[in-house]
Structure 1
Amino acid sequence: MAQKQLTSTEDLNQFVAETGKRLLFKHSTTCPISATAYSEFQSFLQEQSVPAAVIHVIEDRPVSNAVAERFGIKHESPQIFLLDDGQVKWHTSHWKITKDSITEAVKA
């Protein structure tokens, strides 16, 4: 399933307001660790049908900051969140973002 790119706080609010499980990935387009994590995220999405969105943290800094403020979770990059009915059920960052870790979180 393809993911949306969130470029405004309105996009973020709409994505979070939707019901059910969904993944939100904060991606730094200049970081090699983020590139690896993003590849794991994409690999997961090729096999699983979960609504997903990505925020480019450098290009869309206000949206990235809004995530940290909204959920009270310190900003990191790369960072992934599993939302369920608008609430964070799981999150992790950096090398812990793997296809397997995402799969386990979504199943839980």
Structure 2
Amino acid sequence: MENFIRVRNLDEFKRFTQDTESFWLMKHSNTCPISAAAWNEYGEYASMHPNQLFLFLIVQEDRDLSNQLAEITGIKHESPQVFHFYEERVDWNKSHKDITDEAMKEFIA
């Protein structure tokens, strides 16, 4: 999917988001079964919304970016964790088992 993009550092994050009014971001752990389930939910929602931007990072490999985003947003790091950004601010976030396709649909509705 062209709208499903991995970001690995703050420069990439800024490059993809600088002209984007709203977008999603997932912090994914590639060793956690809860994160695997959340990853499936995130991917399912992304596949149904090709006009929205979905970014992700892998916390084990992109730790610096994960920590920088916690500082920027003021939201404590958790994994898995999904954020929705609107006009450069987080206006929705969920973690662990609260990350569902349905929760994302309800937020956007």
Would the TM-score normalized by the shorter structure come out above 0.5?
Answer: yes
C-alpha displacement of 1:85? 1.6
Match of 2:63 in 1: 61
Matched-pair contact (CA < 8 Å) for 1:22–1:82: yes
Match of 2:94 in 1: 92
Mark the runs of 5 or more structure 1 residues left unpaired by the alignment.
none
Which range moves more in the overlay, 89-98 or 46-55? 46-55
Q: Deviations over 1:63-108 (max 9, x none)?
A: 111110001000000000000121111001000000000111223x
Is the counterpart of residue 10 in structure 1 residue 15 in structure 2?
A: no
Match of 1:47 in 2: 48
Once residues 70 and 56 of structure 1 are traced to their aligned partners in structure 2, the CA distance between those partners, rounded to angstroms, is 18
Structure 1 runs of 4+ aligned residues shifted over 4 Å read: none
Once residues 74 and 17 of structure 2 are traced to their aligned partners in structure 1, the CA distance between those partners, rounded to angstroms, is 15
Once residues 87 and 16 of structure 1 are traced to their aligned partners in structure 2, the CA distance between those partners, rounded to angstroms, is 11
Q: Deviations over 1:1-44 (max 9, x none)?
A: 53110011101222342332210000000100000000000010
Between the aligned residues of both structures, percent identity stands at: 36
Match of 2:108, SS state, is helix
Report the residue type matching 1:86 in the other structure.
Answer: E
Once residues 40 and 66 of structure 2 are traced to their aligned partners in structure 1, the CA distance between those partners, rounded to angstroms, is 20
Once residues 32 and 68 of structure 2 are traced to their aligned partners in structure 1, the CA distance between those partners, rounded to angstroms, is 21
Once residues 27 and 46 of structure 1 are traced to their aligned partners in structure 2, the CA distance between those partners, rounded to angstroms, is 17
CA shift in 2, pair 1:56/1:4, >3 Å? same
C-alpha displacement of 1:48? 1.3
